[in-house]
Amino acid sequence: MNPQLEIFSQGDEVVTGQVVDTNAAWLAQQAVLMGFTVTRQSAVGDKLEDLIALLHEIANRADCCICTGGLGPTSDDLTTEAVATAFNLPLILDTHALAQIEQLFANRQRVMPDSNRKQALFPYGAERLDNDNGTAAGFSLQVGRCWFVFMPGVPSEMKPMYTHKVQPHLAQRFSLQPSNLTTLRTIGIGESAIQELMDTLSIPDNVQLGFRAELGEVQTKLLFPFAYSESEKANLVNQIAQQLGDTVFAIDHTRETNSDLISVLNELMTQQQHTLAAIETVSCGLLTSLCVGADWLIEARYQPVLNHSDLQALAVELQKTSGATIAIVQGYTGDKHGVMILHNGLLTPHGFYASTQTITGALKRKQHQAALSALDLLRRYLQQKLGDSSHA
Task: Please list every residue from 142 through 201 that binds its own copies, using CB under 8 A.
Answer: 154, 156, 191-193, 195-196
Q: Which has the closest alpha carbon to 132: 113, 107, 109, 104?
A: 104
Position among 102, 246, 252, 299 found at the interface with its own copies (CB under 8 A) = 299
Position among 125, 204, 210, 349 found at the interface with its own copies (CB under 8 A) = 210
User: Which C-beta is closer to its own copies: that of 208 or that of 238?
Assistant: 208
Position among 163, 238, 360, 383 found at the interface with its own copies (CB under 8 A) = 360
Position among 67, 291, 346, 347 found at the interface with its own copies (CB under 8 A) = 291
Q: How far is the CB of 67 from its own copies (least distance, A)?
A: 14
Residue 257 burial by CB count (10 A; 0-12/13-18/19+): exposed, middle or buried?
exposed
| Tally of CB atoms within 10 A around 288 | 19
User: Which C-beta is closer to its own copies: that of 27 or that of 141?
Assistant: 27
Q: How far is the CB of 384 from its own copies (least distance, A)?
A: 28
Answer yes or no whether residue 367 interacts with its own copies by CB under 8 A.
yes
Q: Distance between CA atoms of 259 and 88, rounded to whole angstroms?
A: 50
Q: How far is the CB of 62 from its own copies (least distance, A)?
A: 12
User: Which C-beta is closer to its own copies: that of 10 or that of 348?
Assistant: 10
Residue 111 burial by CB count (10 A; 0-12/13-18/19+): exposed, middle or buried?
exposed
Q: Angle formed by the axes of helices 79-86 and 48-61, to 10°?
A: 60
Q: How far is the CB of 24 from its own copies (least distance, A)?
A: 7
Answer yes or no whether residue 16 interacts with its own copies by CB under 8 A.
yes
Residue 3 DSSP one-character state? P
First to last CA, the chain: 53
Give residues 36-65 in contact with its own copies (rule: CB under 8 A).
38-47, 50, 54
x/- letters, 66..105, toward its own copies (CB under 8 A) = ------xxxxx-----------------------------
Give residues 256-285 in contact with its own copies (rule: CB under 8 A).
280, 283-285
| Tally of CB atoms within 10 A around 175 | 9
Position among 232, 365, 383, 387 found at the interface with its own copies (CB under 8 A) = 365
Q: How far is the CB of 269 from its own copies (least distance, A)?
A: 14
Starting at the earlier edge strand, list the strands of the sheet with 180-187.
208-214, 217-224, 180-187, 248-253
Answer yes or no whether residue 354 interacts with its own copies by CB under 8 A.
no
Q: How far is the CB of 350 from its own copies (least distance, A)?
A: 26
Q: Residues near 228 by Cβ (< 8 Å), separated by ≥ 6?
A: 180, 206, 207
Count of residues touching its own copies (by CB under 8 A): 89
Give residues 19-38 in contact with its own copies (rule: CB under 8 A).
19-22, 24-32, 38
Q: Residues near 1 by Cβ (< 8 Å), separated by ≥ 6?
A: 37
Position among 1, 88, 95, 113 found at the interface with its own copies (CB under 8 A) = 113
CA 155 to chain centre: 16
- Residues 66 and 32 sit within 8 Å (Cβ to Cβ): no
